[in-house]
Amino acid sequence: MKGLEMRDVPEAGGSFGLVVLLGAAVWLGMAAGSWSGWPQLGVIEVLFLLAPWIVVPLATSLIPSLDDSQPLTGRQRASKWVIFAAAGLATFSFFLPAGMGAASFAGAWLLVCAVFALRGLRRLWRYRVHSFSQFCFAIGEAYLIVGGTWLVASRMGLQPVGFQEPIVLLTAVHFHFAGFLSAVLAGLSYERLRETRWSKPLGVALMAVVVGPGLLGLAFLVGPKVKLAAVMLIVIGQFGLATGMVRVALGIANPVGRAMLILSSGCVVAGMALAASWALGEYPLQPFVDLGRMERFHGALNAVGFGVCGLIGWMNASRGRGTAAVALWGRKD
């Protein structure tokens, strides 16, 4: 399958870099405040807000543009501040009681997610089956609208198909991180290794990363056996992604990028081990890891360790390619 050259993957810089820095400052302030007692945000809320403030802006800056032959336009630069404003409105929704008012503010983020989902459809239509990396990016962008919809349902106080809080908000978290973020990192990893002898086994594992979150969402409607199978599919896929990211890390010259990618890989392995333990306990209804611990440990490992560290790693890997992964691991025969 043909792909895209990594030189076409944009670096996070300019206005997007400023948006991410400001978003990081806002999120760190809220996280520190929540730890001390104000603002009154729970663990799930704080972890979710990491997505609009940091993860989505940074991840989308690393996804190749569909119009990469054209310079960045004023409208594209302005869109970064639209994301920033929508993140602020989504954050404000958590300080309102669940209902129409809170859902209206959260709806601003849903609109942003819808724009990304439309871009994902365009990407899928343009590349179809000709680029696995672009397939990963397209599905990741499409997952955002699912996450945005569940966010609005949570702030509205709805109980879709009988699910209650915190499952409703956790579903929004799931599709932002396990869905969107993992698919983006899968696409970046495959693109770096697509011309090596590791591309075929890596592609199989990454397919599980990309389709697993959607299957898990459907599995919750079916039953514990299917849910267990879906979780194990994600776990296997994420282990493959971690392996691929380590291989990429060992082949780049930038020390910050290398360290962050290795740290990210370790965090996702630890987080997936917890997820597997939780899923195995859910099947006989004798949980080994309770939901509260999953929120704190699995959530933090995946959102901060895997997500933020992984994105910082890729941002720096793009700046210092030095020794290419292809040269280190060898091209396909």
Structure tokens at 134: 């672009």
Distance CA 190, CA 168 (A): 32
Phi and psi torsions of 14, nearest 5° = 60, -135
pLDDT digits (tens, 9 = 90+) for 205-264: 999 999 999 888 887 777 777 778 888 899 899 999 999 999 999 988 889 999 999 999
pLDDT digits (tens, 9 = 90+) for 19-28: 889 999 999 9
DSSP 322: S
**What is the average per-residue pLDDT within 28-38?**
84
Q: How confident is the model at residue 93 (pLDDT cuts 50, 70, 90)?
A: very high
Indicate if the pLDDT at residue 332 is higher than 90.
Answer: no
Report the SS3 class of residue 196.
strand
Q: Spell out the residues 6+ positions from residue 84 whose beta carbon is closer than 8 angstroms to its own.
A: 19, 22, 23, 57
Answer for the pair 325, 193: CB distance below 8 angstroms, yes or no: yes
What is the pLDDT at residue 328? Answer: 34
First to last CA, the chain: 15
| pTM for the predicted model, two decimal places | 0.87
Report the SS3 class of residue 44.
helix
Structure tokens at 50: 């990491």
∠ Cα 58 64 65 (to 5°): 100
H or E stretch covering 143? helix 132-156
Report the SS3 class of residue 64.
coil
